[in-house]
A and B are shown apart, each in its own frame.
Chain A
Amino acid sequence: MKLMLTIAWRNILRHRGKSLVIGAILFTGAFLMTVGNGVITGMAAGVETNIVNGFMGDVVLVSDAQKSDNILLPLMGSSIEPITSYKRIKPILAAQPYIRHALPVGKNLAMMLDEKTDTPGFAYLIGADFEEYRKMFPDNFKVTEGRYPRPGERAMLFPTFARGEFYNFYNIWFLPEGGAVVKEHLSKEALAAGAALPVSSSVVMMGMTSGINSTNDLRFPIKGIVEYKALNQIFGHFCLVDIESYRECLGYFTAADMAAQVPKEEKKLLALEGADLDSMFGGEDMMVSGAGAAREKKKAAPSGAAKTAEDGTYNAVFIKLNPGATYKRALASLNAALTQGQAGVRAVSWNKASGPIGSMAVIIKVALFLFVTLLFCVAVIIIVNTLTMAAIERTAEIGMMRAIGAHKTFIAGMFLGETAILSAVFGGFGITAGVVAVRVIPLFRITTTNDILQILYGGNFFHPLLSLSGVALTVLQLLAVTVAAALYPMRVAGGITPLEAIARD
Chain B
Amino acid sequence: MNIIEIKDLKKDYPLGNTIVPALRGVDLSVAEGDFMSIIGPSGSGKTTLLNVIGCIDFATHGSVKVGGLEITALDDRRVTDIRLHKIGFIFQTFNLIPVLNVIENIEFPLLLMKRTAAEARKRASQLAEEVGLNDHVRHRPAELSGGQRQRVAIARALVTNPDIVLADEPTANLDSVTGASILELMKRMNEIEKTTFIFSTHDANVLKYARRIVKIKDGLIEGAPAAA
Give me the interface of A with B, judged by CB distance under 8 Å.
2-3, 6-7, 10-11, 13-14, 396-397, 400-408, 410, 497-499, 501-502, 505
Contacts and interface: CB of A to CB of B under 8 A. Distances in A.
Contacts of A501: 95
B83 A407 contact: no
B52 to A, nearest CB: 10
B56 A498 contact: yes
A11 B56 contact: no
B51 interface: yes
B81 interface: yes
A3 B108 contact: yes
Contact of B81 (A10, A11, A401, A405): A405
A3 B113 CA distance: 12
B74 interface: no
A410 B111 CA distance: 11
A405 B111 CA distance: 10
30 contacts: A3-B111, A3-B112, A6-B100, A10-B99, A14-B98, A397-B95, A397-B98, A400-B95, A400-B97, A401-B108, A402-B80, A404-B89, A404-B156, A405-B83, A405-B84, A405-B113, A405-B160, A406-B112, A407-B80, A408-B76, A408-B80, A410-B112, A497-B56, A498-B83, A499-B56, A499-B57, A501-B95, A502-B47, A505-B91, A505-B93
A403 B97 contact: no
B85 interface: yes
B56 A404 contact: no
Contacts of A402: 80
A422 to B, nearest CB: 15
Given A403-B89, A404-B109, A405-B81, A10 B100 contact: yes
Interface string B44-58: 000100010010110
B50 to A, nearest CB: 10
Interface in B106-120: 108-109, 111-113, 117
Interface of B: 47, 51, 54, 56-57, 76-77, 80-81, 83-85, 88-89, 91-93, 95-100, 104, 108-109, 111-113, 117, 156-157, 160, 168
A408 to B, nearest CB: 7
Contacts of A410: 112
B92 A505 contact: yes
Contact of A403 (B56, B81, B98): B56
A404 B83 contact: yes
Contacts of A13: 99
A408 B98 CA distance: 19
Nearest to B96: A400
A3 to B, nearest CB: 5
Contacts of B83: 403-405, 498
B85 A405 contact: yes
B77 A407 contact: yes
Given A10-B99, A501-B95, A505-B91, A404 B108 contact: yes
A407 B83 CA distance: 10
Contact of A14 (B57, B85, B96, B99): B99
A-B residue pairs, 6 tightest by C-beta: A405-B84, A10-B99, A400-B95, A498-B56, A3-B111, A505-B93
A403 B85 contact: no
Contacts of A400: 91, 95-97
A502 B51 contact: yes
A401 B111 CA distance: 12
Interface-central residue, B51, B56, B108, by most chain A CB under 10 Å: B56
Contact of A401 (B97, B117, B160, B168): B97
Nearest to B112: A405
Given A407-B77, A502-B56, A502-B168, 7 more contacts: A10-B100, A11-B99, A397-B98, A403-B95, A410-B112, A497-B56, A502-B47
B177 to A, nearest CB: 23
B99 A7 contact: yes
A502 B52 CA distance: 13
Interface-central residue, A404, A406, A501, A505, by most chain B CB under 10 Å: A404
A396 B98 CA distance: 11
B89 to A, nearest CB: 5
Contacts of A7: 97, 99-100
Contacts of B160: 405
Nearest to A497: B56
Nearest to A500: B56
Contacts of A497: 56
A6 B120 CA distance: 16
Nearest to B107: A3
B98 A404 contact: no
Contacts of A11: 99
Contacts of B98: 14, 397
Interface-central residue, B54, B85, B89, B91, by most chain A CB under 10 Å: B91
Contacts of B88: 404
A407 B113 CA distance: 11
Nearest to A407: B80
Contacts of A499: 51, 56-57
A501 B92 CA distance: 12
Nearest to A405: B84
B204 to A, nearest CB: 23
Interface-central residue, A396, A397, A400, A408, by most chain B CB under 10 Å: A400
A401 B99 CA distance: 13
B117 to A, nearest CB: 8
Given A10-B99, A10-B100, A14-B98, A403 B54 contact: yes
A406 B80 contact: yes
Interface-central residue, A7, A14, A405, by most chain B CB under 10 Å: A405
Nearest to A402: B80
A397 B100 CA distance: 12
A405 B100 CA distance: 17
A407 B77 CA distance: 7
Contact of A405 (B99, B104, B109): B109
Contact of B91 (A3, A406, A502): A502
Contacts of A397: 95, 97-98
Contacts of B168: 502
A408 B77 CA distance: 8
A405 B86 CA distance: 10
Nearest to B94: A400
A10 B97 CA distance: 11
A94 to B, nearest CB: 71
B7 to A, nearest CB: 22
